[in-house]
Structure 1
Amino acid sequence: MTTPPRLLLTVYAPALAGDDNRPLAAIHGMEQALPGLRLEWRVTGGRRLAALPQRDAWLVGKIKDGGFPLVCNGDESYPVTVMGRGNDGLFSPGGQALFEVHARLPLDASVIKAAAEMLERVAEGTHSFWGRATPHDAAIDIAYQTAPTLEGPPSPRRGLPALKVFEHIRSPEIPYYLGWLNYWSSAAAQAIGFPDPARDADLLSRARRTATGGWVVQLTETPLDLDNPAHLDALKRAYERFPEIGGRAAP
C-alpha cells in the first residue's frame, strides 16, 4: 500500500522553562493556519484514539522532559499530528538545550496553501531560531546529508553537500539544513547572511518578513520534489549561497 504524500514541519527553539506556554502556541498556531483543524485527540497506549475535551489544560499538565506528548486531529483518513521534545545540550549546537516541535500533515492543496503561514505561526509562537516544512520524500534525501554510513562520514544523495551533525554546528541560530519552506529568525538570517539584495532577488521574490523580523523563504513555487531537476538545482544553489547552513563555512 502506497503511503500518501506528507508534509513534515519542524522548528527548533530555546528549551522550555518553568510555566512555558509555547507548546500551546505551537498547537494554536497550526489550528489558526489550517481552517477546520482541531488537534483535540491523543493516542492511548493501546494505539486507540481518545478525545481531549480539555485539551489545553491536559497538555499543560503533560509537559515533561522538555517536550509534550503527541496530539492529533482524530481522523485516521486524514491524520495530522504534532508533538514536542527536548534535545539535551550534549547533542545540540553550541551545547544549548533545545525545544523541538515536529508535525506531520497530508500534502494536499489545503495544506500546501496554509503551509507558509503555519510554519510562521508555529515558529514565531515558540520563539524558534529556525525551522522548515518539507515533503517527506525530499526530507529523506536531505536527511542523508548528515546521516553517517557504516564507513564513517555522511554519503549524501543526488550530489547534495555533506552537512555537519547537529552538535558540531557552532550555534543554534545556524540552520542544520534547508527545506522547501524555511523559517529563519532575525538572528538566523543574520548568521547566514540573508538577505543580500544583489544575490537573493530570486529567493526574495518568494519570501516574506515576519512580525519579529524573521523570514519565511520558499525555495520552489511548488512543494520540493528532488526528482524534478529544476527543484534539485534550486536546492543546490541555495546550499552554495549559504555555506553557513549545516556548518560548512570555514571557521
Structure 2
Amino acid sequence: MATPPRFLLIAHAPALVADDDRPIRTARAMEQAFPGLSLSWSISDEGRFIPLAQRDAWIAQEQPTRGMPLLCNGDEQHLVTLTGWESPAGVSAGRQAQFQVHAKWRREPSGITVATAVLAAVAEAAHAFWGHVTPSGTASDIALQTSPTVGGPPKPPRGLPALKLPEALRAPEVPHRLGWLNYWSAASARLLGFPDATRDAELLTRSQRTTSGGWIVQLTDAPLDLDDPTHLDALLRAYARFPGIGGRAPFAAGTPSR
C-alpha cells in the first residue's frame, strides 16, 4: 500500500542539556495546537502500538539529554507522530550540536487547518532557531537541493538553487532551506532581514508573529505543490529574496545571538 500524503515538520533547536524539559513541553504544545490529539502511545519495533500510562515520565526516563522517543496517537488511519534526536556538532550548522524535532501527520483537511498552529507551538516549545512544515512529496524535491551527486555538487530539479550542507553554514540560526510554512526565530528573521516592509509586502499578507517574536512565513495559500507553476515561482522568488538561506550568500552582520 502506498504511503498516504503527509505533512513533515522539522524544527532545529539548541542541544538538550541535563534535566531539559523541552521534549515534554514540545509534546504538550503539539497536543494543545492539534484539536483532539493525544500523544499517549509509542510504536514497537514490530510496528505495534504501545500505550503510555505515564507519558511524560517515560519521555524523561528514555532519553533525558539526547532526544525524544517516538510518540504517536495510536490511530493507524490518521497517524500522527512526534520524535526528536540530537544532531552532532560535526554535521550541524555553526558546528554546534542541535536538537532536531520531527513530526508527521496526514495531509487531509483537518491536517491543513492545524499546520500553522502546530509549527508555531512545536518550534516555540523547543526554542527552535528555525523550522518548516512541507508536504511529503514537495519535501522530497527540496531535499535534493543539498544532496551531493556522484559527479559532485547537488543538481536540484525544477531550477531550484543548490544549497550547502548544514555543517558548512556558519551559524545555527541560518535556515537550511525553505518549506511551505517557515518558522524563523527572532534571531533568524533578523539575520535574513525579514520583514522588510517594501520587499516583503506580499509575504507579510501570509505571515504572523509568534509569542517569542519569531515569525511563521507561509509561501503559498495552498500547501506547496511544485507541479503548480505559481507555487514553483513563489518558492524561487523566496530563495531570490533570501540568498542567505542555505549559505548561498554571506550576511552583512555578524553572528546573531538569541
- Scaled by the length of structure 1, the TM-score of the pair is 0.98
Matched with 2:139 is 139
Q: How far apart, in 1, do the equivalents of 2:34 and 2:212 lie?
A: 21
Report the AA paired with residue 145 of structure 1.
Q
Runs in 1 of length 4+ with deviation above 2 angstroms?
none
Q: CA deviation at 1:153?
A: 0.7
Q: How far apart, in 2, do the equivalents of 1:38 and 1:136 lie?
A: 23
CA RMSD after TM alignment: 1.0
Q: After superposition, where does 1:29-48 map in structure 2 within 5 Å?
A: 29-48=29-48
Matched with 1:75 is 75
Matched with 1:96 is 96
Q: Is the counterpart of residue 237 in structure 1 residue 258 in structure 2?
A: no
Q: CA deviation at 1:17?
A: 0.5
Contact preservation (8 Å) 1:34, 1:110: no
Matched with 2:110 is 110
Contact preservation (8 Å) 2:72, 2:80: yes
Q: How far apart, in 1, do the equivalents of 2:35 and 2:170 lie?
A: 39
Matched with 1:246 is 246
User: Percent identity between the aligned chains?
Assistant: 55
Matched with 2:255 is none
Q: How far apart, in 2, do the equivalents of 1:65 and 1:102 lie?
A: 16
| Change beyond 3 A, Cα 1:64–1:152 | farther
Q: CA deviation at 1:65?
A: 5.7
Matched with 2:22 is 22
Q: CA deviation at 1:152?
A: 1.2
Q: How far apart, in 1, do the equivalents of 2:199 and 2:135 lie?
A: 26
Q: CA deviation at 1:64?
A: 4.7
Q: How far apart, in 2, do the equivalents of 1:24 and 1:64 lie?
A: 10
Q: CA deviation at 1:3?
A: 2.3
Q: How far apart, in 2, do the equivalents of 1:122 and 1:192 lie?
A: 22
Instruction: After superposition, give the CA deviation of every residue in 1:55-110 in whole Å (9 maximum; x if it has no partner).
Output: 11111111156212111111111111111100111111111110000011001111
Instruction: After superposition, give the CA deviation of every residue in 1:202-229 in whole Å (9 maximum; x if it has no partner).
Output: 1000000111110001000000000000
Matched with 1:204 is 204
Which residues of structure 2 form unaligned runs of 5+?
A: 252-258
Contact preservation (8 Å) 1:66, 1:87: no
Q: How far apart, in 2, do the equivalents of 1:92 and 1:11 lie?
A: 13
Contact preservation (8 Å) 1:129, 1:184: yes
* Number of residue pairs matched by the alignment: 251
Q: How far apart, in 1, do the equivalents of 2:91 and 2:108 lie?
A: 34
Q: CA deviation at 1:249?
A: 0.4
Matched with 1:11 is 11
Matched with 1:191 is 191
Matched with 1:176 is 176
Contact preservation (8 Å) 2:18, 2:65: no
Q: How far apart, in 2, do the equivalents of 1:160 and 1:92 lie?
A: 22
* Matched residue SS, 1:99: strand
Contact preservation (8 Å) 2:16, 2:65: no
* Matched residue SS, 1:145: helix
Q: Is the counterpart of residue 162 in structure 1 residue 162 in structure 2?
A: yes
Moved more, 173-182 or 29-38: 29-38
Which residues of structure 1 form unaligned runs of 5+?
A: none
* Matched residue SS, 1:234: helix
